[in-house]
Chain A
Amino acid sequence: MQARASTAPPPGRTARAWTPGATVFRWLWRTVWLACLVPLIWLAFCAYADRLGANPIEHITRATGDWTLRLLLVTLAVTPLRQITDWHWLVRLRRLLGLYAFFYACLHLLTYVWLDQFFDIEGIVKDIIKRPFVTIGFAAFVLMLPLALTSTHGMVRRLGGRAWQRLHKLVYAVGVLGVAHYWWLVKKDLTEPILYAAILTLLFGMRLWHARRLRAHVAAQTA
C-alpha cells in the first residue's frame, strides 16, 4: 500500500491534462475578458432603452452587487476546479476574474455613494456604522483593496510568493462578507442568498477536501 502510494502521482493529478496552446489561451483570455463586460454593457443598454424599471437606481445597485458576488464566486472556483481537472492554466485567468469582481464592487459602491446617497458623506458614514449589512459590505470592499493593489506581477515579486499568497487568503473573508451582506439586506426571501452561501460552502469544502487528501498523500510518502 505504502509502496504504491509513493510511486503514484499526487491525488487528482492525471498524466495528461488538457492545456491550451499560446494562441488558444490568448483567445480564451479575450473571451473571458469580454464576457465579464457583458453585464455592464447590458446595464448600459437597459439604461439607454429605459428598461431599468420603475426604480432604476435600485436596479443598478442590485445588478452591480449581483455581479460582484457572482464573479467573486467564479474567482474562488478557479482553484477547486484546477484541483479536480488538473487544468493548471486556469490560474492564469484568475487575476482577470478577481479584478473584474473588484471592478463591479467599485461600480456597486459608486452607485451607492453617488446615485443612492448623492455624496452625502455624513449620511454614508452613519449608514456604515449603523447598518450591519452596509458595514459588512463596506468591510468586504476594503478587504478587496489590498488584493487589487497587489495583483500585478511586480507586486507579487516584491512581496514574495509566500507572503503574497498569505495576503490573498483574504479573498475567503471577502467571499463570506459578500454573501453575509446580501443575506442581511434581503427583506424576507432568502432563496438567492442561500444559493450563494451554498456555492461558497461547496467551494470551501472542496478546498478542505483537497488539502486533506494532499496531507494524507504527503504523510504516506514520508512514512
Chain B
Amino acid sequence: MLIKRPADIVSSDITPRALFDTRRDFIRAAGLGAGAALLGGLPEIAGAQGKRGEKLGPLAKSPFSTDEKLNDYDDITSYCNFYEFGTDKGDPSKNAHRMVTRPWTVSIEGLVQKPKTLGIEEVLKLAPLEERIYRLRCVEAWSMVVPWVGIPLSVLLRQVEPLGSAKYVEFTTLADPKTMPGVRSAVLEWPYVEGLRLDEAMHPLSIMAVGLYGEMLPNQNGAPIRLVVPWKYGFKSAKSIVKIRFTDKEPLSAWSRAAGREYGFYSNVNPDVDHPRWSQGRERRIGEFSKRKTLVFNGYGDQVASLYAGMDLRKYY
C-alpha cells in the first residue's frame, strides 16, 4: 500500500512575491501589538504567510555569548551569502522559500563506530537548545552579531562514536537543482562541502544552529540545520547540512577547490593574513558607519588560539 505523506508545503512555499516583500512591514506591525487585530482582519494573508518562524524554546543562555549589540533580524535574513540560491546577497531571501526542510535527515558516517541517519526532530532533542550570540565575520570584510539557537556540534558527533583514526569532519550540504537556482550554475562545484579538524569540530564554540532570534532558522540562513564556527570566516559555517563524514584526510572544501590560494582549509579570521586581493585588517559591522578593526580569531582567541599553537598561520591560512 502506498502510504501518502501529507503534502509537505512550507507555508512560505506558496507566498506570492509581493506578499513576501511586505512581510517585514507586516511583522513590524504585528510586533507593535497590532498582531491579533491584523491577523483577524487579513485572514488570507495570515494563512498564506504564516508566522515569521516557529518559536523555539525555552533556551539556555551561554557563557560564550557576546553582549554586543545584535544585528536586526531583517539584516541577518536579507543579507546572506548562500550561493545555492544565487550570488547576490539579496538572492537567498528571494529564492530560499522553495527549499523543503521537512522531512530532513542528516547522515553521519565515515570513520565511526555507529553510523546513523538522524531526522531533524531527533537532532533537536539531543540536547537542550542554547542561545549563542556570536560575531560572524565574512571573508568579504563585513560582520554581524547573530543570536543563533543550537546545540554543541560535539553532542551530535558523539552520537556515532568516532574511531581513533578519524582526524577530520566533512560537511556536505543540500544541492537540489529543483529548488536551488544557483545550483544550476557552475559558480562553485556542488554540493557545497566544508570541513573541520576533529578538535575544531569538538570545540565547545562550534555549534549546529537550528534557530535565529529564538525562532526556527529561516531558509536563507541555512535551515533546518547549519554549522556555526565563529572564529572562522563565514563560508566555513556550511548551511543546510545533509551529511557529516569522519575522515582521516583533510577535506577539500568548495571554496578551496574553487580558489585554493584565496580560501584555505583553516580560514581562521586573521587581520594579519590578507586575502590576496583585499585587506582583512578591518571590517564593516553591518549597521555601523565606519569600519572597525578585525580581531584575531574574530575575538575568540582566548578559547581557540591553543588549537593552533606552533602553527604558522600564514602558511595554514
Contacts and interface: CB of A to CB of B under 8 A. Distances in A.
By CB atoms of chain B within 10 A, which of A127, A187, A191 has the most? A187
A100 interface: no
Nearest to A117: B291
Contacts of B284: 55, 57-58
Contacts of A116: 291
Interface string A102-144: 0000000000000110100000001100111100000000000
Contact of A189 (B142, B187, B287): B187
A188 interface: yes
- Is chain A's binding surface mostly helix, strand, loop or mixed? helix
A54 B278 contact: no
The number of chain A residues touching the other chain, given as a range, is 20 to 34
Interface string B262-296: 00000000000010011100001011011100000
A188 B188 contact: yes
Nearest to A185: B277
A55 B290 contact: no
Contacts of A131: 277-279
A53 interface: yes
A188 B79 contact: no
Nearest to A57: B284
Contacts of A130: 274, 279
A133 B79 CA distance: 24
A62 to B, nearest CB: 10
Contacts of A127: 279
B259 interface: yes
26 contacts: A53-B78, A53-B89, A54-B75, A54-B78, A54-B286, A55-B79, A55-B142, A55-B286, A57-B289, A58-B284, A116-B291, A118-B291, A126-B279, A130-B274, A130-B279, A131-B279, A133-B277, A133-B278, A185-B278, A188-B83, A188-B258, A188-B259, A189-B83, A189-B185, A189-B187, A191-B87
Interface of A: 53-55, 57-58, 115-116, 118, 126-127, 130-133, 184-185, 187-189, 191
Interface of B: 74-75, 78-79, 83, 87, 89-90, 140, 142, 185, 187-188, 258-259, 274, 277-279, 284, 286-287, 289-291
Q: 7 closest pairs, A vs B, by CB?
A: A54-B79, A189-B87, A54-B75, A54-B286, A189-B187, A118-B290, A188-B187
